[in-house]
Structure 1
Amino acid sequence: MAPALQPLRHGARSLPGRAGHSAETASADASDRAPPDATQDRRGSGLPCRCRPRDERGRRGRGLAPRDSRRARKHLVAQATATERPSLWERIAPRDLLQPRNLIILVVVVVIAYLAIVPLAYLLWGTFFDENGLTLRFFEEAYDQIPLNVLLANSFTFAIGSTVLAVTLGTTLAYLQARTDVPFKRLIFAASLVPLIIPGILHTIAWILLFSPEIGVFNAWLEPIFGPRAFNIYSMQGMILIEGLHLSPLVFLLMSAAFHSMDPSLEESALMSGAPMRTVARRITLPLVLPALSASILVMMVRVLESFEVAAIVGRQARIPVFVSRIFD
């Protein structure tokens, strides 16, 4: 059978094209088998390509560059927002103002404004006006007898000295209470709140009873050793001591919160790496507590400049005028 079929195979190769199979059909078959054109869609032949060249993808219908088209869209959005957003008075209905919450807020704002604006108005009126009208004679009377440079020097010496004492003492106690194993931590924290409860005038009188040159208890005890009047509370040093000790608990509370919020693993890692304690304090501890320390210094400076008890009771007796005592006089 195999030798008999061989002529048929050779004949099939030499057969002419059958009817219906023309050159156009052959060419169509060849085109079907050809790879698709780059402009045709891969998902089907004959469909237009939706992809764009990379340099034209950012362009829109008007032929704008990508940056220009983004600016145009932002401009349109801004215009639509400005035209569509209602004003504040349009959004607030009259009935919304009568709600209990809004009424309470309105009453609180009115009370606070009255308590703040009325005293300030009386102060400005009494400063710049008298029975004859507008005047500046009160400033002349205030700064005529005592030069302004003396008041500035005394006020800032008192403020800087008290701030340094309060910040140093309060920061040291806060560090010992928060970052060390000293005993009685809770007692130290509770005792720091006691000076904040005592009024400033009582605190000042208590120190006068202890270190007064005439009736001071400590001066009586120290007289056999150092002689009479070992420490005079009626001096700039006495004023700084009283005010600095009175404000140190406030610094303690501020710095204690800062030390408690720190991560102790940073200091422990530095110590385990061989860094000395002063380097750890300078490179790690101080930068972490610097915001709280700066706030404490600012608050203490303002509190000392506006304090009245020490300046009025001790400063006037010691003949050390500051701005507060001079305004009172």
Structure 2
Amino acid sequence: MNRLRSASPLLLVFLLFIGAFFGYPLLMLVYGAFRSGQPGTSGELGLSGFANAYGDPATWETLWASVLYAVGVQAIGLVDGFVFAWLSTRTNTPGARAITVTMITIFAIPTLFFAISWGMLTSPTGLITQVLGTDADGRPRLDAFSWVGLILVSGLKGIAVMYLLLLGPVRALNRSMEEAALLSGANRLRLFLDINIPILLPTLSGLAILGFVNSLGQLDVALILGVPAGIYVFPTQIYDFLATTPIRYDSASALALLLIAIIYLLVLVRSRALGNRKFITVTGKAYRLEREDIGAWKWAGLALFLLYTAVALLLPLAQLVIGSLQPVLGVTGFTVKHYVDLFGSPSVLNALENTFFVGVVGGFFATALAVLISYVALRSKHRLAKVPELVVWAVVAVPGIVLALAITWAYLSVPGLRNLYGSVWIVLIALIIVVTPIAQRATSGPVGQLGVELEESARVSGASAPRMMATIVIPLIGPTFLASWFISGVMAAGSLDIPILLSSTRTETVSLLVYNYYTQLGNGSRAAALLLVLLVLLALGGAILLGLGRLLRRRAERRTRSRGALVDAVRPEPVPAEPAAAPVPTPTTDDARPVGAASTR
């Protein structure tokens, strides 16, 4: 209570907003697990939801299937992401810059792209099936609608995500430590296992949990490739509870709580395992970052990168282009009819408008909120200033399908908020909650680098806090703000698990419409065409924001140079020094040596 009284009114208002915006839906999810009936209707408290969910043997089969799926996907993402990060930052492998650009591109592409494109690639008429052929029973030799296909396709984007997260830690490894180990007689394998892996243990363990969490909650690939093959994981099981009659909100909520509990338990185990161990690699003495010459292996690294690029990007794009130009998916012939029909369809235009809205507005507000959270946590000296950051990061462990369920309970249970359900606004709110933690991670570093003296000067000059944020903080982190805006907007625009539960026919997004075309309506060619349109729009948005970022950076550089020139212009000319006085003759003896001086003889 004393802490609350000592907090400023603005901080208290901000804490209440964060609690209501991020924490309230999660609390309502817990409430919904113990309540029978649908949100917003009469019901009774009890344990029927837990009994129905956990009493079904299929639930435990789904649990083990989910663990197997998540471990497989994470193993692919973490190992391959680490290999590519090592090749890019520590070796002389050709095309190191191209690796990073490609990984950013794959990261920005919605997961829906990989699921649908690989479903087409391994169909009876797909490009890969035409090359590899089929078995005696007519099944493709490489089938995406299988356990192997499900894990491999999900791992394609996971590699890019892990690469981007490992890029900094791998680059920061100190080469002098490795050279000391080699001089001591250690071979390369022992050096890697005894030096590099222990140093990267906090990063690797944290990313392993993050990837496991992301895989456990991933809906897109599991829904499109897994369900047709009879493979169910937690997200598809939760969706099945909500998409079939009777709708079982309490059972879905109970299953979602188990998923969240598993995730937080893993975080606790990691924290206890690492303890207070220190992992310092960047020091001020003998810190070296030279690339290592790996000889002929650099061509093997380049070949591995080109193979990944073809599998994750080029082949899927080629299949989508071919499929979008076919009259019917798999039928020989080319036509642009699907593109003409798309832009003449009111539902498609409405979906494009909704996607543009949630992407642009959602990405902006998520980034602005992330900057504000980081700023409060770094600048405020009150102990409660860290609470918003902790609450936001608690959302990271909540999969999108679970958060959509939590939003359903939170807004349908309140009469005033019930009207938002089914509107684009509730989709926007849910997407902002989902992407804010990512935006907060992207902006916290640049905000922490701002010197406090700049803000103090603005406040002393009479600027209010909002004006200081608008004129000092935002312009200085402009390029980072735009990059975070783009990343958050892409994630919001490409999301499927949020709109699939919260959207109505009037508020469909492009990703949901693509899913309906491909699975519900059986029109794969139109789904491919619409997905390509979405990718083009995302690329245009990225190019625009990249141009704005460069413009802001050049403007800041010009402003800095002009201020430097102004300082030089007004700097007073140095006063010439007066001529030095003539030295006073020193009395000498007969041998012309100063008195008291030692003889050099």
Task: State if a TM-score over 0.5 links the two structures.
Answer: yes
Amino acid at match of 1:292: T
1:237 aligned residue (148, 172, 175)? 148
User: Residue 223 of structure 1 corresponds to which residue in structure 2?
Assistant: 133
Shift of 1:247: 1.1
1:167 aligned residue (78, 96, 104)? 78
Matches within 5 A, 1:141-220: 141-143=52-54, 146-212=57-123, 214-220=124-130
User: Residue 445 of structure 2 corresponds to which residue in structure 1?
Assistant: none
Give distance in 2, aligned partners of 1:230 and 1:89: 64
2:21 aligned residue (115, 129, 137)? 115
Amino acid at match of 1:309: D
In the alignment, does 2:48 pair up with 1:137? yes
Larger CA deviation: 113-122 vs 254-263: 113-122
Give distance in 2, aligned partners of 1:187 and 1:236: 31
User: Residue 213 of structure 2 corresponds to which residue in structure 1?
Assistant: 302
Shift of 1:294: 1.0
The 3 A distance-change label for structure 1 pair 106 and 210 is farther
Give distance in 2, aligned partners of 1:142 and 1:216: 39
Determine if contact 1:211/1:233 at 8 Å carries over to the other structure: yes
User: Residue 82 of structure 1 corresponds to which residue in structure 2?
Assistant: none
The 3 A distance-change label for structure 1 pair 140 and 316 is farther
Give distance in 1, aligned partners of 2:134 and 2:144: 19
User: Residue 232 of structure 2 corresponds to which residue in structure 1?
Assistant: 321
Query: Structure 2: any 5+ residue segments left out of the alignment?
Result: 241-601
Q: How many residues align?
A: 233
Determine if contact 1:142/1:326 at 8 Å carries over to the other structure: no
User: Residue 251 of structure 1 corresponds to which residue in structure 2?
Assistant: 162
Give distance in 1, aligned partners of 2:161 and 2:33: 33
In the alignment, does 2:194 pair up with 1:279? no
Structure with greater contact order relative to length (CA < 8 Å, sep ≥ 6): 2
Matches within 5 A, 1:21-170: 97=9, 102=10, 105-129=11-35, 130=37, 131-143=42-54, 146-170=57-81
The 3 A distance-change label for structure 1 pair 175 and 326 is same
Give distance in 2, aligned partners of 1:151 and 1:224: 30
Matches within 5 A, 1:256-275: 256-275=167-186
The 3 A distance-change label for structure 1 pair 90 and 202 is closer
Give distance in 2, aligned partners of 1:136 and 1:91: 41
Larger CA deviation: 186-195 vs 218-227: 218-227
Shift of 1:120: 2.8
The 3 A distance-change label for structure 1 pair 152 and 275 is same
Amino acid at match of 2:80: L
Query: Structure 1: any 5+ residue segments left out of the alignment?
Result: 1-86
SS at match of 1:230: coil
Shift of 1:242: 1.5
Determine if contact 1:195/1:249 at 8 Å carries over to the other structure: yes
User: Residue 77 of structure 1 corresponds to which residue in structure 2?
Assistant: none
Give distance in 2, aligned partners of 1:127 and 1:274: 59
Give CA-to-partner distance per residue, 1:27-59, whole Å, 9 cap, x none: xxxxxxxxxxxxxxxxxxxxxxxxxxxxxxxxx
Determine if contact 2:53/2:59 at 8 Å carries over to the other structure: no
Amino acid at match of 1:186: R
Shift of 1:284: 1.4
Give CA-to-partner distance per residue, 1:145-195, whole Å, 9 cap, x none: 553331121011001111111111101111111111001111111111112
Give distance in 2, aligned partners of 1:225 and 1:321: 25
Shift of 1:127: 3.0
Shift of 1:240: 0.9
Q: Alpha carbon RMSD of aligned pairs, Å?
A: 2.5
The 3 A distance-change label for structure 1 pair 145 and 288 is closer
Give distance in 2, aligned partners of 1:290 and 1:89: 38
SS at match of 1:133: coil
Shift of 1:321: 1.4
Determine if contact 2:81/2:159 at 8 Å carries over to the other structure: yes
Amino acid at match of 1:248: I
Identity of aligned residues (%): 29
Give distance in 2, aligned partners of 1:161 and 1:177: 24
Give distance in 1, aligned partners of 2:129 and 2:32: 44
Determine if contact 1:232/1:238 at 8 Å carries over to the other structure: yes
Determine if contact 1:142/1:327 at 8 Å carries over to the other structure: no
Give distance in 1, aligned partners of 2:16 and 2:5: 24
Give distance in 2, aligned partners of 1:110 and 1:157: 40
Give distance in 1, aligned partners of 2:129 and 2:121: 7
Give distance in 1, aligned partners of 2:56 and 2:220: 23
Determine if contact 2:134/2:140 at 8 Å carries over to the other structure: no
Larger CA deviation: 266-275 vs 297-306: 266-275
The 3 A distance-change label for structure 1 pair 132 and 219 is same
User: Residue 288 of structure 1 corresponds to which residue in structure 2?
Assistant: 199
Give distance in 1, aligned partners of 2:159 and 2:14: 33
- Which protein is bigger by CA-based radius of gyration? 1
Give distance in 1, aligned partners of 2:19 and 2:29: 15
Determine if contact 1:267/1:284 at 8 Å carries over to the other structure: yes
Give distance in 2, aligned partners of 1:224 and 1:283: 46
SS at match of 2:231: coil
Amino acid at match of 2:197: L
The 3 A distance-change label for structure 1 pair 199 and 108 is farther
Shift of 1:143: 4.9
Larger CA deviation: 172-181 vs 249-258: 249-258
